[in-house]
Chain A
Amino acid sequence: MSTSTTLEAPNSGTWDGGNEPLKASYGKLMMWFFLLSDAFTFGAFLIVYGLARHRHTPYTGEPEAFTFSTEWWPIPEKVFNAFPGLHGMDLPLAFVALMTMILILSSVTMVLAVEAGHRMDKNDVQKWLLWTILFGATFLGCQAWEWSHFIAGTEEGMLLADGSRIYGASLLANQYGPVLFADAFFFITGFHGFHVFIGWTLLIIAFISTVNGVYHKRGHYEMVEKIGLYWHFVDLVWVFVFTFFYLI
């Protein structure tokens, strides 16, 4: 800040603050350790999903003959097989494949924005941030559709022993299988979606600051880099959610 108030030389010795063993700024380190703690949270979520799954019977019959039942854990391919605009068609995992691609693409545009920031290229930072915001919004929209479809359910629903049927899913009952299946879906994908939304908000703030030249005046685009770390982490979590929730 003010250079006139002190004439002291900056500390440079190992034991008086001049040592920088991790060679990363305070903000980036704190982001890394926050992400580590977040990894524990998501790890716990996915592990509890594994626990719930091992606590229930797996479906052992032919995949073609599969029906929804509270007796066994559902096969993800039979639950997530709808695509917007293509009603009634069996397209297993097609929509989640699209969502995965969108998120990986957004990660690439994010890292391109960080790269442009290193070169102090304001126009490129703006361009790539805008692409990332666009892909982030598309992903959130996809997730909104996925949720509303999951909640509304299919036309057949699930046939209960007393002859009645239940449709769709809530926290208390769902047509796809055991209660915990829908609970895990809401908690895990919901918590991930919440992270995407936070990251998306941060990206918009970073975009406005970039357009106003805040980072250029500051002399570095480290804020874009820190938000980038967070955004990549969100992509990383999705990679795990995708494997453990949709593939296995």
Chain B
Amino acid sequence: MATHHEHDYSATGEVPKPQTKAIWRTFIILVGLTAIEFLFAFTMESSTLRNAIFIILTVFKAFYIVAEFMHLKHETKALIWSILIPLVLVVWLMVALIAEGSYYYDSITNYFK
């Protein structure tokens, strides 16, 4: 909450008006991205390109959830990087195991041929 200023509302007893414009904007973006995903799911044949589109749209959705809803965009730089840098390990694991899965498939299908 680096940008959030503390106010003592309880002292005055008055409750300020809600500021929800950014929240609903994020909601509309998330719904829009999901709708686009469904559009591709029904109008496009399954292919590597379609999968790539799905993954890119998913990363966009993830960005909006983490940055806006979880408020990470408004935290300090040090906190943002402490969360994001370790996730590189997940990307590495993904590349390694999917390559391994393809190799495993190739080797057992050739072995038992």
Contacts and interface: CB of A to CB of B under 8 A. Distances in A.
Interface in A216-239: 216, 219, 228-229, 232-233, 235-236, 239
Interface of B: 1-2, 4, 9-10, 15-16, 18-20, 23-24, 26-27, 30-31, 34, 37-38, 41-42, 45-46, 51, 54-55, 57-58, 61-62, 65-66, 68-70, 75-76, 78-79, 82-83, 86-87, 89-90, 93-94, 97-98, 100-102, 104-105
Interface of A: 21-24, 28-29, 32-33, 36, 39-40, 43-44, 47-48, 50-57, 63, 75, 77, 92-93, 97, 100-101, 104-105, 107-108, 110-112, 115-116, 118-121, 124, 216, 219, 228-229, 232-233, 235-236, 239-240, 242-243, 247-248
A7 B110 CA distance: 78
Contact of B65 (A54, A77, A239, A247): A239
Given A23-B75, A216-B10, A51 B18 contact: no
B9 to A, nearest CB: 4
Given A115-B19, A115-B23, 16 more contacts: A21-B76, A36-B83, A47-B93, A48-B97, A54-B102, A54-B105, A55-B101, A75-B46, A92-B41, A108-B26, A119-B18, A236-B70, A239-B61, A243-B54, A243-B58, A248-B55
